Amino acid sequence: MEQKRKPRVAVVGGGTGMPVLLRGLKNLPIELSAIVTVADDGGSSGRLRTEMEIPAPGDIRNVVAALSDAEPMLLDLFQHRFANGNGLSGHSMGNLLLAAMASMTGDFYKGIKEISRVLNVRGEIYPIANHSMNLHAEMEDGTIVTGESSIPKQNKRIKKVFVSPTPVQPLPEAVEAIKSADLIVISPGSLYTSILPNIIIPEIGQALRETKADVTYICNVMTQEGETSGYTAADHIQALFDHIGKDVIKSVIVHNKPIDQGVRKAYAEENSEPVIYDIDRIKSMGLKVIEEDIIDHNKPMLRHDTEKLARLLHSML
């Protein structure tokens, strides 16, 4: 008798929201792929990218850590960041290991595969591209800003983002993972600097349009200064539509419980506030709205709840 294949789930994104999501998904009976941005240019990741001419490893490192079943000590080592004041200052050990493995294998993606094997990673990790790319933003006032880390600092409204050099050659395995998925999840994270850099690559957008998978977007819970200040949930979705067209995303997952006053206060200091869920407007955009309590209420900072999201996404399969 033929064995039924496991459902395939592909998660697209980067930043801080993606690892949280993956931690819950890795324990499900699914074939999991993580398709990760490499457009970062700040900190350790940016320095290695410039000095070693590799794609930025930072977001990949966090995804490796999230999907790994290695000893906690080994993971702490992998995520260790050297203190300031020496040649290694600010570098993260995992970034250095990824850079070393890319150098040994002569190929960034091969390096990720080797590190994944060593750290017992569940699922497949694909950099969106196997070469370095730069992110640029055109602001509402017409100015162009270059560099993922510089974009939010302008504190201007962003009209659109684009990458260079073009054409970006997306990793073929990443394109294939999207085409063959049963469910595609656009993870929460910085809208313009972690999420969009992946999906504005033409072949990736094309694969998202052609896939038979249900494509769902997990909306951020809080706005982000310099990227989405004042954005409602529908504004987030409109930004995605503006970059990749209307026919790609089928549903959106939103958090539907009030946010604790203490937490709101902490975020207000960073000029960040809860995203307003304008459900009727989202529905008028043709999307199915899935409302759930998806927050981990035990954390001082707002984080999506790994287990709740995993259960919800599993039920969508």
Place of tokens 């469910």: 183
* pTM of the model as a whole: 0.95
In this predicted structure, what is the pLDDT of residue 166? 87
61, 155: one domain? no
Burial class (CB in 10 A: 0-12, 13-18, 19+), 83: exposed
- Do residues 189 and 290 share a domain? yes
Residue type present at position 92: S
Distance between CA atoms of residues 279 and 271, nearest Å: 23
Structurally, the chain folds into a number of domains equal to 2
Asked if 278 and 233 touch (Cβ cutoff 8 Å), the reply is yes
Domain-embedded: residue 281:
yes
Checking if the pLDDT of 86 tops 80, the result is no
Both 251 and 156 in one domain: the answer is: yes
Is 1 part of any domain?
no
CB atoms within 10 A of CB 61: 25
Provide mean pLDDT across the span 281-294: 96
Q: Which residue has the higher pLDDT, 1 or 89?
A: 89
**Residue that finishes a domain, picked among 98, 124, 150:** 124
Residues 226 and 310 occupy one common structural domain:
yes
Would you give the DSSP letter of residue 47? H
Provide mean pLDDT across the span 62-84: 94
Residues 187 and 295 in one domain: yes
Size of the chain in residues = 317
**2: pLDDT confidence band, cut at 50, 70 and 90?**
low
pLDDT band at 260, cuts 50/70/90?
confident
Residue 35 pairs in a beta bridge with: 12, 126
d(CA 33, CA 12) in angstroms, rounded, equals 9
The verdict on 160 and 258 lying in the same domain is: yes
pLDDT at residue number 258: 86
My answer on whether 21 and 51 are in the same domain is no
- How confident is residue 64, by pLDDT bands cut at 50, 70 and 90? very high
How far apart, in whole angstroms, are the C-alpha atoms of residue 306 and residue 287?
Answer: 24
Q: Which domain holds residue 172?
A: 8-37+128-316
Mean pLDDT of the chain: 94
Closest CA to 20 of 54, 67, 83, 70: 67
Q: Per-residue pLDDT averaged across 174-180, rounded?
A: 98
Give the C-alpha separation, 50 to 48, whole Å.
Answer: 5
Q: Which band of pLDDT confidence, cut at 50, 70 and 90, is reported for residue 11?
A: very high
Instruction: Report pLDDT digits (tens) over 17-51.
Output: 999 999 999 999 999 999 999 999 988 999 999 99
Q: Are residues 197 and 300 in the same domain?
A: yes
The pairing of strands 183-186 and 251-255 is unpaired
Of residues 83 and 25, the one with the higher pLDDT is 25
Tell me the chain's radius of gyration from C-alpha atoms.
19
Domain boundary among 100, 124, 148: 124
Extract the tokens encoding 192: 């313009």
Asked if residue 3 is part of any domain, the answer here is: no
Domain boundary among 124, 143, 163: 124
- Predicted pLDDT at 4: 83
CATH number at residue 25: 3.40.50.10680
pLDDT in tens, 162-176: 999 989 999 999 999
143 and 95 in a common domain:
no
Question: Could you give phi then psi for residue 144, rounded to 5 degrees?
Answer: -110, 130
Shared-domain flag, residues 68 and 198: no
More confident residue, 264 or 114: 114
Q: CA–CA distance from 93 to each of 38, 45, 110, 112, 209 (Å)? A: 18, 11, 18, 14, 38
| Cα distance between residue 123 and residue 227, in whole Å | 31
Predicted local confidence at residue 87, as pLDDT? 81
Q: Pick from 20, 48, 14: which is nearest to 128 by CA?
A: 14
